Amino acid sequence: MKYLKNIFGILIVSLLIFSCKTKEIIIEAQEVDDIVTYLASDELEGRDTGSEGIEKAAVYIESYFENLGVEPYFDTYRDSFNVKDKKAFNVIGYLEGTDPKLKDEFVIIGAHYDHIGFAQEENGDKIANGANDNAAGVGTVMTMAKYFAKTKSNKRSILFTLFSAEEKGLVGSKYLAKTLKAKNIDLYVMLNFEMVGVPLVDKDYTAYVTGFDKTNLAEKMNEYAGKKIAGFFSKAEEFRLFMRSDNYPFFKEFNVPSQTFCTFDFSNFEHYHKVGDEADIMDFNHMANFVNTFIPAVKKAVNAETKEIKMNPSK
Ligand SMILES: [Zn+2]
């Protein structure tokens, strides 16, 4: 009996180890809350390009990457450039792919981490905190980086790119897209996240995707997720949002699917580029749910055997 007990013991211990190893990483609302609340705090003064506040944001993102074992893609995490007389830098993390062949192909997961600094004063507040725009997108990218760093489940290589100077005219993403084009990397898709801190209302999808009909991205993401996570939003076409965020320079340089996912529909959030864009009005349960919903689909995209996300012909 004693022998049998030992066998049982060993069996239970190995089951535990096995289940720990295969345990999925779930992103908690508190984690996104912590990230967005810090990035959108008054201390960071609206993360204007070249400011002390954005420097703090960069240090925060770099240490998050470092703690996870997400590596710098360049010599450091910083991809530096100038905007007029101001020094600016994208923050770039890298996870090499696990597949000997597919690792030569790249997926970029990005969001801009800069904001506009100060804005029209309201009730003594001048700081445009940029919680929804775009600490929320940054939190999404950072927690996705955490997922892939912990699970080591990416066959393709991933660049986690936090752009600066988006608000100055997509300067950071243009700079990086040109640099990567000059290096001739094999870019598969670029997935960008903008203003995802508040859920859509009365829509049958989780986020809309800009440049909807240019590619089959929405169709594939919905297939991967097993539900409708990406949809068509007519105002995104009307306001040409496809060309107005950091996805666009990658589309231009590489002519591969490069699109933005967004949950801001012009009616569900009234503080766009205003001082009221604060962390305490973000919906962190929605955000955690958003990230946990997108991760399995992003993972399938990153690991698909062939490049099945494609440009639509004639678009
Ligand atoms: Zn933005």
Q: Report the separation in Å between the CA atom of 35 and the middle of ligand 1, taken as the mean of its atom positions.
A: 17
Strand residue runs (E) in 123-229: 125-127, 157-163, 186-194, 207-209
Confidence band of 24 (pLDDT split at 50, 70, 90):
confident
* CATH class, 26-303 region: alpha beta
Q: How many CB atoms lie within 10 A of CB 131?
A: 27
CA–CA gap between residue 283 and residue 136 (Å, rounded): 10
Chain-wide mean pLDDT for the chain? Answer: 95
Q: Report the separation in Å between the CA atom of 37 and the middle of ligand 1, taken as the mean of its atom positions.
A: 17
What is the tens place of the pLDDT at every residue in 87-141? 999 999 999 999 999 999 999 999 999 999 999 999 999 999 999 999 999 999 9
CB contact at 8 A, 207 and 262? yes
3-state class (DSSP) for residue 175: helix
Confidence band of 278 (pLDDT split at 50, 70, 90):
very high
Which is more confidently placed, 135 or 5?
135
Tell me how far the alpha carbon of residue 55 is from its chain's centroid.
19
Q: Report the separation in Å between the CA atom of 47 and the middle of ligand 1, taken as the mean of its atom positions.
A: 12
CA–CA gap between residue 190 and residue 170 (Å, rounded): 15
Q: Report the separation in Å between the CA atom of 98 and the middle of ligand 1, taken as the mean of its atom positions.
A: 32
pLDDT of 231 higher than 70: yes
Q: Report the separation in Å between the CA atom of 214 and the middle of ligand 1, taken as the mean of its atom positions.
A: 21
Q: How many CB atoms lie within 10 A of CB 238?
A: 9
Q: Report the separation in Å between the CA atom of 134 and the middle of ligand 1, taken as the mean of its atom positions.
A: 5
Dihedral (CA of 62, 66, 68, 71) sign: positive
Confidence band of 33 (pLDDT split at 50, 70, 90):
very high
Within the chain, what is the greatest distance between any pair of CA atoms?
79
Q: Report the separation in Å between the CA atom of 5 and the middle of ligand 1, taken as the mean of its atom positions.
A: 60
CA–CA gap between residue 253 and residue 239 (Å, rounded): 22
Residue 19's pLDDT is what?
56
CB contact at 8 A, 45 and 127? yes
pTM over 0.85: yes
CB contact at 8 A, 63 and 56? no
Q: Report the separation in Å between the CA atom of 137 and the middle of ligand 1, taken as the mean of its atom positions.
A: 8
CB contact at 8 A, 194 and 134? yes
CB contact at 8 A, 176 and 111? no
Q: Report the separation in Å between the CA atom of 109 and the middle of ligand 1, taken as the mean of its atom positions.
A: 15
Nearest CA among 256, 212, 203, 272 for reference residue 236: 212
Residue 14's pLDDT is what?
63
What is the tens place of the pLDDT at every residue in 252-264? 999 999 999 999 9
Q: Report the separation in Å between the CA atom of 84 and the middle of ligand 1, taken as the mean of its atom positions.
A: 21
Say how many Å lie between the first and final Cα of the chain, rounded: 71
Q: Report the separation in Å between the CA atom of 68 and the middle of ligand 1, taken as the mean of its atom positions.
A: 26
Confidence band of 16 (pLDDT split at 50, 70, 90):
low
Residue 139's pLDDT is what?
98
Q: Report the separation in Å between the CA atom of 73 and the middle of ligand 1, taken as the mean of its atom positions.
A: 24
Q: Report the separation in Å between the CA atom of 194 and the middle of ligand 1, taken as the mean of its atom positions.
A: 5
Q: Report the separation in Å between the CA atom of 112 and the middle of ligand 1, taken as the mean of its atom positions.
A: 7
Q: Report the separation in Å between the CA atom of 26 and the middle of ligand 1, taken as the mean of its atom positions.
A: 26
CA–CA gap between residue 55 and residue 43 (Å, rounded): 11
Q: Report the separation in Å between the CA atom of 262 and the middle of ligand 1, taken as the mean of its atom positions.
A: 10
Q: Report the separation in Å between the CA atom of 303 and the middle of ligand 1, taken as the mean of its atom positions.
A: 28
Residue 292's pLDDT is what?
98
Q: Report the separation in Å between the CA atom of 231 and the middle of ligand 1, taken as the mean of its atom positions.
A: 19
What is the tens place of the pLDDT at every residue in 39-76? 999 999 999 999 999 999 999 999 999 999 999 999 99
CB contact at 8 A, 136 and 195? yes
CB contact at 8 A, 303 and 155? yes
Q: Report the separation in Å between the CA atom of 113 and the middle of ligand 1, taken as the mean of its atom positions.
A: 8
What is the tens place of the pLDDT at every residue in 178-207? 999 999 999 999 999 999 999 999 999 999
Q: Where are the domains of the chain?
A: 26-303
Angle between helical axes of 284-303 and 217-225 (0-180°, round to 10): 100
